Chain A
Amino acid sequence: MNAAGASLLSALGLCLVSALAGATAPRRVRPLLAGLGTACAGAAAAAAGVAALAGQSWSAWLPGVLPLAGARLALDPLGGMFVAVTGAVAVCAAVYGIGYAKHGVDGRVTQATLPLFLGAMLLVPVAASVSTLLVAWELMAVTSLLLVLAEHARRPAVAEAGLWYAVMTHLGFAAIVAGMAGFAAGAAGESFEQLRAATLSPAVRDAVFVATLAGFASKAGIVPLHVWLARAHPEAPSPVSALMSAAMVNMGVYGIVRVGLDLLRGGPSWWWLVVLAMGALSALFGILQAAVASDLKRLLGYSTTENMGLVLIGVGAAGFFASCGDKELAGLALVAALLHVVNHAGFKTLLFLAAGSVLRATGTRDLDALGGLRGRMPYTTALFAVGALAASALPPGNGFVSEWLLLQSLIHALPTSGVAGAVTMPPAVGVIALSAGLAIATFVKAFGVGFLARARTPAAGRAAESPPTMICGMALAAACCVALALAPAAVLPALSHLVAVLLPGHEAVGGVVTLRLADVQGTMSPLLIAAALAVAAALLLGSVRLVARRARRPARLWDCGAGPMTPRMEYTATSFAEPLQRVFDNVLAPESDLAVTPTKESAYLVESIHYRARIPDRIERRLYDPVLAAAASIGRGATRLANGSIHRYLAYGFYALTGVLLVLAVVW
């Protein structure tokens, strides 16, 4: 066995050991033992993934583990990338979780389930047969559901979020089962090698792709299957939110790439245009909802939908270019998409962990009730700033690098991809640009309103900095973000290599300090850009010092003579987003109601005014509510069948049995 296999197996073993520790250790040391074990498992998994990316491959067949088929595992570069990302996220979240656990999530079930969740997420990308994949997928869904429900006793919203998640994830699972079972039925067997060798009719291929796309897209939180994400991710404990939002959603992308590009070896261009359209819709819708959200974790959840949308734009473009025969551009788009998966995992881990730190310190996620955290939580503030910069896709951040690569691949599409490309690629470019702009507004809001200015509530004013383990977890994630921002060349060759294996061709991106695109005109140097920005900032500060030579003198801020300014005068998250909400009024369809109560004496004198504004998820309102209402009315109608008489219930069974026997007697 080589290093990749050994570290993967030790990671899985460590997951089991940590789960055991979480289930049996006394409460005092439980978070420490389980957290350390999970962190070690994550590190081992990251090592295995890196080894796989470097070219080591490993596979195993364990006939006794699963009934009938046995478990089939294989670590290839594509799976290795997702294993590495999951492992790295798990290290940060587990270290952070040691400190966070005292915040009410140190119960046995939660502490034992978290390592199992990690193990399931590691198994998904290394599964090499349909049954193994399905078992790992379901294990991942069930363990994450348990973790989402960890705080159900405290907030009723958790149970509702759990219900949404359970239903959506199992509908998605059903779609995946249908698709993969159909695929395996048409192939000689159920191992991925046999699936690759299968020759299916075009109709079956279409059905397999559409079914699996629906299932995997629901896991990735893609519009219109995103409704669970913005509920479940905020309600989970923060380390779990980070794992779900930075690692679990990636499995959806993995599934689409694995099935669409690897097992089905690409397909007609409409498949990929559908993927691209879903991605574009998610990117826009997600970031718009994030821009107007005032719940910090809900904002981050919608931002996940946006980023997964961007990734799917890349995946869809890659598939589309490949179907047009342009392997080079396809490689570039896929590299950009995978790099964005890595980058998003980095900054979303950081942001969710920092949001959890704020939640722990203030007890609220409502941006309108925060503010003034810069002085009281300096480390968390600085680390959130790093994450916000990365998520805004601005130059020194890591999000910029992948979005730039993505734009490059789309912009250069015109000459080769025909009419379909000429029609679809410019809007896709527009969507990326618009979502980048809205992302900047979103994260300026999240950082500016949440952390700067003055505290809007006493709870925010009493906030205290988080314990060192939590800061350490966040700092690890921040270090990854900075490294990815300054030296993307550390991961790009590996990604280019893996893409070159997947879509046969040569490596799409090269260069160390300056990134050079192999097949299209384009160079960019993140390091030089960052250096130039640093020099410019230093020059600016220096010149201000030079000009303003006088000594500093404290003075009161000009308040128009209206007396001391109160926190009520500050911009809130809602007011900051209000102009955006006006611009996108038709899309967002905000609801507001205004109730004016006059005094008894005169209708012209107002006693109180109640104003409530809500921005519902419009897709949920239009698409899901009618279905739910119909199901509820059918359920109410069906209660007439159940009138409480035991004899009637027994009679239903009797009639059903004799009915079936009669049918058999007649038919047979």
Chain B
Amino acid sequence: MSDSVYMPLLDLACGAFLLAGVLVLWRRDLAAIVRLFALQGAALAALVIVLAAHEGSAGLAAAGVAVGGLRAGLLPHLMRRALVAGGEGQESRPLVNVATSLLVAAVLAMVAYDASQPLVRLTPTPATQAVPVALTVLLVGFFVLVTRRRALSQVVGFLLMDNAITATAFLTAGGVPLVVELGVSLDVLLAVLVLQVLTLRMRAAFGGTDLDELRELRD
């Protein structure tokens, strides 16, 4: 693949990746959040496949397809099932409101851009130039984890962070070894399954999945 095709495609995939992450902060409808997450998974898969096409590596392409299957297919499917079983369609009151969240996301993007400059300077290739995007999504995911109340939003925040870590790995090092990637994916899958069970249990116990209800369980 020539650079004139590679660069725009890479930028497009990264832009979709970033936009999906930020839009999670904007939407309060849980079903829409899951859709955005699926979109981000697809963007991540596309990103990996573009990298694979650029390097001409079949293994990397296979990894991209696997990543897409997991993050755009299986995980959103599981979350949708949890959503149907949970019966709650809305993120009720985020701890930080939507407008402020978007502002914070802008600030986080700047922090991430500045903090990742040393990494970019190490090898200034087009792929490494995109590392700030991944770091931004990581911080946004963490921010979702901190400010959203529903268990499902928390899962999405956690998975955004994981997507960002995977993206960083592919952008900087052409992916991690297969064993590590498999292990991490399995971890993520298990975490989602556990959180799905947790959501159901919380709903059975409290009638809602607001995590602040758990406050009284401390020692």
Contacts and interface: CB of A to CB of B under 8 A. Distances in A.
Interface of A: 642-647, 650-651, 653-654, 657-658, 661-662, 664-665, 668
A645 B111 contact: no
Given A647-B146, A647-B147, A658 B108 contact: yes
B117 A647 contact: no
A662 B111 contact: yes
B215 A664 contact: no
B115 interface: yes
A661 B115 contact: yes
Nearest to B139: A658
Contacts of A650: 142, 145-146
Contact of A643 (B95, B118, B146, B215): B215
B145 A654 contact: yes
Interface in B72-131: 95, 108, 111-112, 114-115, 117-118
B111 A647 contact: no
B205 interface: no
Given A643-B215, A644-B218, A653-B142, A661 B111 contact: yes
A540 B114 CA distance: 96
Contacts of A644: 214-218
Contacts of B95: 647
A665 B211 contact: no
Contacts of B118: 664, 668
Contacts of A651: 146
Nearest to B112: A661
A654 B215 contact: no
A667 to B, nearest CB: 11
Interface string B123-153: 0000000000000000100110111010000
B215 A645 contact: yes
Given A647-B149, A650-B142, A664-B118, 5 more contacts: A643-B218, A644-B215, A645-B212, A657-B139, A661-B115
Contacts of A645: 212, 215
A665 B212 contact: no
A650 B111 CA distance: 19
A636 to B, nearest CB: 13
Contact of B111 (A642, A643, A658, A668): A658
14 contacts: A643-B218, A644-B217, A645-B212, A646-B214, A647-B147, A647-B212, A651-B146, A653-B142, A657-B142, A658-B108, A658-B111, A661-B111, A661-B112, A661-B115
Interface in B166-219: 211-212, 214-218
A665 B214 contact: no
A668 B142 contact: no
A654 B140 CA distance: 10
A662 B142 CA distance: 16
A668 B117 contact: yes
Contacts of A642: 218
A654 B111 CA distance: 13
A646 B115 contact: no
A304 to B, nearest CB: 39
Nearest to A646: B211
Closest 10 CB pairs of A and B: A644-B218, A665-B114, A661-B115, A644-B215, A650-B146, A665-B115, A651-B146, A654-B146, A654-B142, A646-B211
* Dominant secondary structure at the B interface: helix
A162 to B, nearest CB: 22
A430 B117 CA distance: 70
A645 B145 CA distance: 13
Contacts of B142: 650, 653-654, 657
Nearest to B114: A665
Contacts of B218: 642-644
A647 B211 contact: yes
Contacts of B211: 646-647
B135 to A, nearest CB: 8
Nearest to A649: B146
B115 A664 contact: yes
A644 B212 CA distance: 9
A76 to B, nearest CB: 45
A660 to B, nearest CB: 9
Contacts of A646: 211-212, 214-215
B21 to A, nearest CB: 15
A358 to B, nearest CB: 42
A665 B108 CA distance: 12
Contacts of A643: 215, 218
Contacts of B117: 665, 668
The residue among A646, A657, A664, A668 with the most chain B CB atoms within 10 A of its own CB is A646
Contacts of A658: 108, 111, 139
B216 to A, nearest CB: 7
Contacts of A657: 139, 142
A662 B112 CA distance: 9
A498 B100 CA distance: 76
A40 to B, nearest CB: 43
A657 B141 CA distance: 12
A668 B146 CA distance: 28
B165 to A, nearest CB: 13
Contacts of A665: 111, 114-115, 117
Contacts of B216: 644
A37 B142 CA distance: 56
A646 B216 CA distance: 11
A45 to B, nearest CB: 42
A499 B114 CA distance: 63
Nearest to A661: B115
B199 to A, nearest CB: 14
Contacts of B145: 650, 654
Among A650, A657, A664, max chain B CB count under 10 A is at A650
Interface in B149-169: 149
B33 to A, nearest CB: 17
A662 B135 CA distance: 13
A651 B143 CA distance: 8
A352 B212 CA distance: 57
Interface string B3-20: 000000000000000000
Nearest to A643: B215
A661 to B, nearest CB: 4
B65 to A, nearest CB: 32
A662 B117 CA distance: 12
Nearest to B215: A644
Nearest to B142: A654
A335 B167 CA distance: 67
A653 B152 CA distance: 20
Nearest to A657: B142
Contacts of A653: 142
Contacts of A661: 111-112, 115, 139
A642 to B, nearest CB: 7
A408 to B, nearest CB: 61
A652 to B, nearest CB: 9
A658 B217 CA distance: 29
Most B-side CB within 10 Å, residue of A651, A653, A661, A668? A661
A10 B15 CA distance: 66
A642 B218 CA distance: 9
A668 B108 CA distance: 18
A126 B95 CA distance: 61
A444 B145 CA distance: 70
A665 B149 CA distance: 31
A646 B115 CA distance: 27
Nearest to A664: B115
A206 to B, nearest CB: 39
Contacts of B149: 647
